[in-house]
């Protein structure tokens, strides 16, 4: 069987319309309502009511879209033109209630379930991962989870609240949304409340590759460990941009010293090529703290790599 290039609607031609002009969709792609059917949809969730420290991630989707104007249509690292291999469209933003976390979670889950495409979601705070995992599990059953973050996000409550940006993955395990044989954190670092945090996390089924592990063990070994743990399972990837060191991502709510470089994160993601990726999110971009748009640029490239991985999967299917 020969591969054929599908006819898709791609980004606005930057040789005709300057990158600083025109609507700020992700990577200057068409809107979802401008295409017959999307294979991959980029959707924003401007919600940050679940944060425990610095707010502002509600403005993340707009900032990442603005930074994505400079993305180009060929990905040399993965040798794919993602916008030719898959129809990618911008699905706009989910209208999530900023005053009611429960109502917001319901709205996000409903919106994610209603879009007939694989999603790359731009947050917003990490609370949004829970409803996105609910929607993914409804379609695929319990999924493998690869979680990039400085923090575990498996705490039980904050100030008695069960649904916050620090609790989504404990809730996901409790609700049976994830395959507990295939749960991984990457980039964990910084002080904890106590050793029990690690014990609880291990009991939930997570394996941890710390930021120091990435440094000492090297990218190839890290990718090999992750791929062995993921196996052939459907995979969901959740990226908190604070997995990056503050030098690479200052614009986030809870920065921690000693993180990954943007190069390390992108290379690990590219090492997932061929995995059964079914959805992903990039969260916790808070542009108010983001001098020179460093964080937004990094997040736009992370989202682009995730879209490209999904396009490769689409190519394999067709």
Whether 209 is in a domain gets the answer: yes
Whether 18 is in a domain gets the answer: no
Confidence of residue 48 (pLDDT cuts 50, 70, 90): very high
210-222: average pLDDT: 98
Domain count, the chain: 1
pLDDT reported for residue 314: 84
Whether 118 is in a domain gets the answer: yes
Q: What CATH number corresponds to the domain at position 253?
A: 3.40.800.10
pLDDT reported for residue 1: 40
Q: Write the pLDDT tens digit of every residue in 265-310.
A: 999 999 999 999 999 999 999 999 999 999 999 999 999 999 999 9
In order, the DSSP letters of 85-102 are HS-EEEEEE----TT-HH
Domain holding 113, by residue range, is: 26-317
pLDDT reported for residue 102: 98
Angstrom distance (rounded) from CA 202 to CA 208: 9
Block residue for tokens 């209603």: 114
pLDDT reported for residue 2: 45
DSSP 47: -
Whether 1 is in a domain gets the answer: no
Q: Is the pLDDT of residue 4 over 70?
A: no
Angstrom distance (rounded) from CA 269 to CA 182: 16
Whether 56 is in a domain gets the answer: yes
The pTM (predicted TM-score) of the whole model is 0.96
Whether 2 is in a domain gets the answer: no
Whether 275 is in a domain gets the answer: yes
Whether 100 is in a domain gets the answer: yes
């Amino acid at each position: 069987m020969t591969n054929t290039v599908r006819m898709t609607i791609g980004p606005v031609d930057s040789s005709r319309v300057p990158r600083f002009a025109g609507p700020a969709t992700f990577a200057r792609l068409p809107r979802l309502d401008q295409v017959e059917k999307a294979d991959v949809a980029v959707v924003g969730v401007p919600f940050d009511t679940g944060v425990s420290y610095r707010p502002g991630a509600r403005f993340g989707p707009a900032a990442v879209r603005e930074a994505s104007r400079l993305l180009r249509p060929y990905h040399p690292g993965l040798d794919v033109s993602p916008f030719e291999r898959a129809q990618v469209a911008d699905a706009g933003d989910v209208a999530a209630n900023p005053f009611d976390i429960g109502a917001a979670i319901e709205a996000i889950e409903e919106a994610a379930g209603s879009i007939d495409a694989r999603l790359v979601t731009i947050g917003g705070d990490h609370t949004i991962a829970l409803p996105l995992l609910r929607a993914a599990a409804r379609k695929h059953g319990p999924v493998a989870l690869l979680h990039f973050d400085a923090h575990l996000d498996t705490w039980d409550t904050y100030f008695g609240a069960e649904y916050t940006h620090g609790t989504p993955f404990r809730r996901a395990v409790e609700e049976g949304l994830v395959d507990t044989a295939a749960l991984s954190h990457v980039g964990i670092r910084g002080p904890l409340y106590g050793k029990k945090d690690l014990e609880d996390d291990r009991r939930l089924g997570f394996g941890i590759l710390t930021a120091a592990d990435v440094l000492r063990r090297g990218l190839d070994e890290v990718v090999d460990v992750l791929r062995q743990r993921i196996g052939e399972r459907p995979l969901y990837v959740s990226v908190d941009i604070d997995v990056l060191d503050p030098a690479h991502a200052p614009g986030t709510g809870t920065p921690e010293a000693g993180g990954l470089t943007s190069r390390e994160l992108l290379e690990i993601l590219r090492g997932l090529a061929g995995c059964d990726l079914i959805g992903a999110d990039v969260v916790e971009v808070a542009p108010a703290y983001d001098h020179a748009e460093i964080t937004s640029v990094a997040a736009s490239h992370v989202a682009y790599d995730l879209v490209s991985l999904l396009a490769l999967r689409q190519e394999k299917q067709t």
